[in-house]
Amino acid sequence: MAPAAPLTLGESLAHVSRADRWKKFVYFQIAVPGSIVLMILVAILKSGSPSFFSSVPWRLALMLSWDAYLSLLFMIMSYAELFLPRTPVAVAENIDCVGLWVVGVCVISLMVGTVFAIPVVDTRVLAACTGVVAAFVLGLIALWVWLARTYGGGDGDDRLELELDLEAGSAAA
């Protein structure tokens, strides 16, 4: 009979050293901003003048918010691998599929690519696109808090919950 599939990140990553997981974390935190900087440089060189971003300031804000989204997404994924071993593999796969591929690539990349391919100069459109990306960033922060509260913790948290329950019981009496 085949062994059962791992149910948690801790089980699925048991063969990967902690040092390798840290290397992956550091790599993504350097590679994502580096890629965005290269895209900004290409956009400046393609336009022939540095005024590409200064003439329409929301262009730079959109690029930087996209960078913030991707950096935060990879940080959350690495945080789960490093510090939340009780996270189910299905949750981590959904974060990867939905967060990276659906939102990061299909929605945000398509939106940013369209806005830059058709040189949009209307600041309202660019501000709205930046606001959409900012909303996704806030969603990621909420997801991170939920992950940490749901799958994090340990002995210290259990004692704190017990103390709070005891205090609530004595206050009610």
Q: First and final CA of the chain: distance in angstroms?
A: 56
For residues 6 and 88, the answer to whether their CB atoms sit within 8 Å is: no
**Is residue 1 one of the residues assigned to a domain?**
no
pLDDT in tens, 55-109: 888 889 999 999 999 999 999 999 999 999 999 999 999 999 999 999 999 999 9
Q: pLDDT exceeding 90 applies to what percent of the chain?
A: 65
pLDDT of residue 159: 46
Residue-number span of the structural domain to which 113 is assigned: 9-172
How many separate domains does the chain show? 1
pLDDT of residue 173: 54
**Is residue 76 one of the residues assigned to a domain?**
yes
**Is residue 4 one of the residues assigned to a domain?**
no
* Amino acid (one-letter) located at 76: I
Distances in Å between the Cα of 150 and the Cα atoms of 17, 117, 156 are 24, 41, 15
Side-chain half-sphere CA neighbours of 11 within 13 A: 11
**Is residue 128 one of the residues assigned to a domain?**
yes
**Is residue 119 one of the residues assigned to a domain?**
yes
**Is residue 2 one of the residues assigned to a domain?**
no
If you compute the radius of gyration of the chain from its CA atoms, what whole number of angstroms results? 21
Phi, psi of 134 (to 5 degrees): -65, -35
**Region 31-44 average pLDDT:** 90
Count H helices and E strands in the chain, helices first.
8, 0
* Amino acid (one-letter) located at 151: Y
pLDDT of residue 160: 46
